[in-house]
Structure 1
């Protein structure tokens, strides 16, 4: 399956003079983004992170400027337009795509745990992805008893008051009960930041729904004003993750997490410092 073209933001030699056409971005959300990124790393555990779609691109980009970059991956996949059901051809295409990303049933049962990260509204994207993986695991006769302990979903939700009546998306589906207690977790963002990332932010790439899965035109870079503004902001976010101030703030938030008791996180903090 095709993948939308995305510039290398860590080694931006290929950008040339592109950024000269875009205004300097205002990272008004940076402090909360850094806190969110710290929680994603700590609460995902000693795992590989797969950022689904585009909504959490900024978390991915911030972490790509840190020593954690070898653990993060993008999965630019949207199930919009596919909820009426996937054809056999669609399923074959998606399986090939996931296998190329290191997410075949064989991969899921071995190596580090795999954690899917996305902004969550209703939970439908995670539900579609889980159903696709679960059927594939059964078809390949991979041991579900092993995979279930290595497969996790981490949702970034809107921050609300913690009350018994608060909306919890995972309670509206049956499949989270098939995973261990830490198989589905959530991190919250203040509404203005969540809304910006999920609905208003100009992204570096176009959305990648079903009609584009086989469209080879999606492989070419886009130079529209919207994409260039998204590019400028993404480059600035990567630089913030590489800066001393950004790393110091990331470390401060990581140290507040219960995972500080684990050696892998202490090692990461040493590398960040």
Structure 2
């Protein structure tokens, strides 16, 4: 169990039961969800390839997918749970004259803070070794550096705890949302170049592709509702939500995504995104699709 430490992850509104918004959305224009078809199809594949794991969305890049799925799964009988793991591992250039980048090593205080956040999400070595279903971490992926840092953080903790690795490794899954490209025998795949992925079962590291423009919007350009939660901010007090015009527009977009996911057409579109996925052979996914279709 991590030592007691005061950690304040960035505040984000609960948009499924939004009783805190007040007048934040009053008078604003309707958001244009130009990306909704691509996002919904991708979210369906994320569900299908999750291994029936609880979905933890890492960082902020896929907040829109979290919002869409939060609405879609609200009130549906399913074991799957959704949560956000707001970690952002900040990279900086290595001072060696070759322009490389690296993630600075975490301090003892930062490791304790990270473990506190994971403990609040019930993602501890003890809990992982005893849970029935896996935890599936989801993030946009370019080279996989965030997943690598997260795996190292968990790996060190598991080794210290002396929980059985052969049991824990089967409860960890990593699902990368990648930029869609033309495939060829020479296509670069991040997981094939990451040594840590070889320590997990082959099915535990998977990808879902997303249209390049939508991937770039979520990963690089979209206004987020929370500040970046980098290691140097893990021990700082939270400064609360933004309330400027950009924040209001981002909030309106997030609320609209929850509403779309909750609606019948959004749920049917999500179920359609699961079509032809091999995991449909598994009862848990067939049952989820029936519920999304209102059957």
The bucket for the TM-score relative to the shorter chain is over 0.9
* TM-score relative to the length of structure 1: 0.96
Q: Distance in 1 between matches of 2:218 and 2:264?
A: 24
User: 1:119 is matched with which residue: 124, 131, 140?
Assistant: 140
- Paired residue for 1:128, among 149, 154, 158? 149
TM-superposed CA distance for 1:257, in Å, is 1.3
Show CA shifts across 1:170-215 (max 9, x none): 1222100001011210000111000001011111111111222111
Aligned equivalents of 2:177 and 2:21: distance in 1?
30
Cα deviation digits, residues 40-64 of structure 1 (max 9, x gap): 0000121101000000111111000
Q: Which residue of 1 aligns with 2:51?
A: 45
Is residue 66 of structure 1 aligned with residue 86 of structure 2? Answer: no
Equivalence for 1:150:
171
Aligned to 1:215: 236
Question: Is the 2:12–2:241 contact (alpha carbons within 8 Å) kept by the matching residues of 1?
Answer: yes
Q: Deviations over 1:219-238 (max 9, x none)?
A: x2221222211111000000
Three-state SS of the structure 2 residue aligned to 1:74 is strand
Query: Cα offset for 1:69?
Result: 9.0
Report what 1:34 is aligned to: 40
Q: 1:236 aligns with which of 243, 253, 256?
A: 256
Computed over aligned residues only, the root mean square deviation of the Cα atoms, in angstroms, reads 1.5
Where structure 2 has 5 or more consecutive residues not aligned to the other structure, the ranges are: 1-6, 93-102
CA-CA distance at 1:270 after TM superposition: 2.4
2:211 matches 1:201: no
Pick from 172, 175, 195 the counterpart of residue 196 of structure 2: 175
Separation in structure 2 between the aligned mates of residue 176 and residue 81 of structure 1, nearest angstrom: 21
Query: Which stretch has the larger CA shift, 254-263 or 49-58?
Result: 254-263
Contact 1:62–1:241 (CA under 8 A) maintained in structure 2: yes
How far residue 81 of structure 1 moved from its aligned partner, in angstroms, is: 4.8
State which of 191, 196, 205 in structure 2 corresponds to 1:184: 205
SS of 2:151's equivalent in the other structure is helix
Aligned length: 272
Any stretches of 5+ residues in structure 1 without a counterpart? none
Whether the 8 Å contact between 1:81 and 1:209 is mirrored in structure 2 is no
Q: Do 1:51 and 1:118's aligned partners in 2 also have CA atoms closer than 8 Å? A: yes
Q: 2:9 aligns with which of 3, 16, 41?
A: 3
Compare the two structures and name the one with the higher helix fraction.
Answer: 1
Runs of 4+ in 1 over 3 A off after TM superposition: none
TM-score normalised by L of structure 2: 0.89
- SS of residue in 1 equivalent to 2:139: strand
Preserved CA contact (<8 Å) 2:72 2:263? no
